[in-house]
Amino acid sequence: MQSLAGKTAFITGAGSGIGRQSAILMAKSGARIVVCERDEQAGQETVAAIVGEGGSASLVVADVSDDSQMRSAVDTACSRNGGLHVLFNNAGIFPDGDGSPVDTPLDIWEWVIDVNLKGVFLGCKYGIPAMLESGGGSIINTASFVAVMGAATSQIAYTASKGGVLAMTREIAVEYARQGIRANALCPGPVRTPLLEEFLSDPEVKARRLVHIPMGRLAEAEEIASAVLFLASDASAYVTGTTFLVDGGITASYVTPE
């Protein structure tokens, strides 16, 4: 297992799914974990799971779309741990009502962009200076396979937000490469998380998704967490600016129209 001994990792949306599993795995690899979560109870559950296995973790409660809350969250993380070395901007939403361009209400569009895109921007805005002071590190921003290809089911706000994350990550990677900071866009395929399970509760919708996955199944959050650990660790020391696809072969396949 890659080592993160002596490093501090700040993870947004760590109260469930990919964020929680990544926090647990990074803690097992020796990192001090800062769980950044809007849902205090969910965040505390992640902290408890890590501490219960002998790891180091603490919670900061923040809405990633709020400028002052994110500034305070990063400041608190650094004051508690003496620096910041891994920044995993993972928090995201996919609300009901996000559909085609003509059907998606403006408030849904703005909400998704605020959390999924602005939230990543704010994480980087305040995380990058802290990482520079700590001697550099790794930024992992959660985008999606839909950032590089169209989704089978219309979700215009989510897709646009993840495309923005992908483009922003590339620019950050180029700007800070010679200052010791790497940045990569994690692009998962569909993952079996509570968020997606709710969306795929309709058997017809689920079947439409699975037909596009060569492996024929959803990813497990633990599988995505393994990719996150690789990007966070020195094992990926020469990896930056990538579209890091972990999608079960979706983007490599061709499926005839339904």
Could you give the CA distance from residue 131 to residue 8 in angstroms, rounded to a whole number? 10
SS (HEC) of 186-207: EEECCECCHHHHHHCCCHHHHH
Token readout for 188 is 């998962």
Phi and psi at 11, nearest 5°, equal: -125, 120
Helices 40-52 and 17-28, packing angle to 10 deg? 30
The alpha-helical segments, DSSP class H, found in the chain are 17-28, 40-52, 67-81, 106-112, 119-133, 156-176, 194-199, 203-210, 221-232
In terms of Cβ atoms closer than 10 Å to its own Cβ (0-12, 13-18, 19+), residue 254 is: exposed
Question: Which residues are identified as catalytic?
Answer: 158
